[in-house]
């Protein structure tokens, strides 16, 4: 999150995250096993937290690692979580594990994105789905959501585009609500402003429950090789202590039918 958009003091930041998570002071006090009075004093600045208390509150509020460091600094403590570049030598084991995971998923597409949906890594299958996208959308940093919904990106290829678009916007809204990240809010505003391709109705199919089943909704792409129907799963690194790793998301696509599996196997064999 952009630190300039955040409150300054520890108490203000704590109140911000409590409200972001829709906790009352009493609810948070009970969850953190602290008195409501003490919590009120922490938010007002009448009291300062211990490091252990701060981390307990951040854990109960599920504050992202990046913002836990901001809370620690605001309270006068040193940051706890590292913030390395993904090309840092110390992250080599994680990078290797990520690449092995992506490669092992072939002949199906898989990719990894950062907290703003910029592409970090992908296996060899992904470029095969992007051949008809405008070159400017493929230039680094490649934003996966922008590429998907842009009229010169994948949007013209997507069957039932309004439904898939609504699914992605709902997913982005949940992420923005969880993080309070203004960059994600700006991205959502940009995506909502994209026009639909000519001839595409601006309505969601009533029989598609895109918000309650975000993992199972199929992505149907009309490609020269035929219609590919894909479902996706999401994965993250377990128990990360580095901010960059904590913000990575790995999306793996699987064929939703036998015909798609056959086409993807044939495409992989041609590489």
What is 20-34 written as a DSSP string? HTT--HHHHHHHHT-
Please write the tens of the pLDDT for every residue from 210-231.
444 444 678 999 998 899 999 9
What is the pTM assigned to this prediction?
0.84
If you average pLDDT over residues 196-209, what whole number do you get? Answer: 64
Question: How far is residue 3 from each of residues 64, 71, 85, measured CA to CA in Å?
Answer: 13, 11, 19
| Contact criterion met (CB below 8 Å) for 60 and 221 | no
- Distance in angstroms (rounded) separating the CA atoms of residues 149 and 19: 32
Handedness of CA 211, 213, 215, 216 (dihedral sign): negative
DSSP state of 82: B
The predicted pLDDT at position 214 comes to 45
SS3 state at 214 = coil
Q: What is the pLDDT of residue 238?
A: 86
Cis peptide before 86 (omega within 30 of 0): no
User: Which residue pairs from 136-144 have beta carbons closer than 8 angstroms and sit at least 24 positions apart in sequence?
Assistant: 142/118, 143/116, 143/117, 143/118, 143/119, 143/187, 144/111, 144/113, 144/117, 144/118, 144/119
What integer pLDDT is reported at residue 204 of this predicted model? 64
Backbone angles phi, psi at 120, to 5 degrees: -105, -40
pLDDT of residue 196: 85
For the chain, what is the mean pLDDT? 90
Model confidence pLDDT, tens digit, residues 122-177: 999 999 999 999 999 999 999 999 999 999 999 999 998 999 999 999 999 999 98
Residue 227 and residue 157 in contact, taking contact as beta carbons nearer than 8 Å:
no
> For position 7, what pLDDT does the model report?
61
Each residue's pLDDT tens digit, 51-72: 999 999 999 999 999 999 999 9
């Amino acid at each position: 999150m952009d630190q300039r958009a955040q409150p300054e003091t520890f108490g203000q930041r704590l109140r911000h995250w409590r409200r972001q998570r829709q906790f009352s002071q009493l609810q948070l006090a009970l969850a953190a096993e602290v008195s409501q009075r003490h919590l009120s004093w922490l938010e007002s600045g009448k009291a300062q937290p211990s490091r252990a208390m701060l981390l307990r509150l951040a854990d109960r509020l599920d504050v992202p690692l990046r913002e836990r460091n901001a809370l620690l600094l605001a309270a006068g403590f040193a940051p706890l979580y590292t913030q390395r570049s993904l090309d840092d030598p110390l992250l080599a084991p994680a990078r290797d594990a990520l690449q092995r995971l992506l490669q092992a998923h072939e002949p199906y597409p898989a990719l990894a994105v950062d907290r703003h949906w910029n592409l970090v890594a992908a296996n060899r299958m992904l470029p095969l789905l992007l051949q008809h996208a405008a070159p400017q959308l493929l230039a680094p940093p490649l934003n996966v959501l922008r590429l998907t919904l842009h009229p010169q990106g994948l949007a013209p290829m997507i069957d039932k585009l309004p439904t898939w678009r609504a699914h992605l916007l709902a997913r982005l809204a949940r992420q923005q609500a969880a993080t309070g990240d203004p960059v994600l809010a700006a991205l959502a505003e940009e995506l909502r402003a994209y026009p639909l391709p000519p001839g595409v109705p601006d309505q969601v199919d009533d029989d598609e429950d895109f918000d309650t089943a975000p993992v199972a909704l199929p992505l149907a792409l009309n490609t020269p090789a035929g219609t590919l129907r894909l479902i996706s799963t999401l994965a993250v690194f377990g128990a990360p202590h580095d901010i960059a790793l904590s913000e990575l998301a790995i999306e793996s696509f699987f064929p939703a039918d036998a015909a798609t599996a056959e086409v993807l196997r044939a495409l992989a064999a041609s590489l």
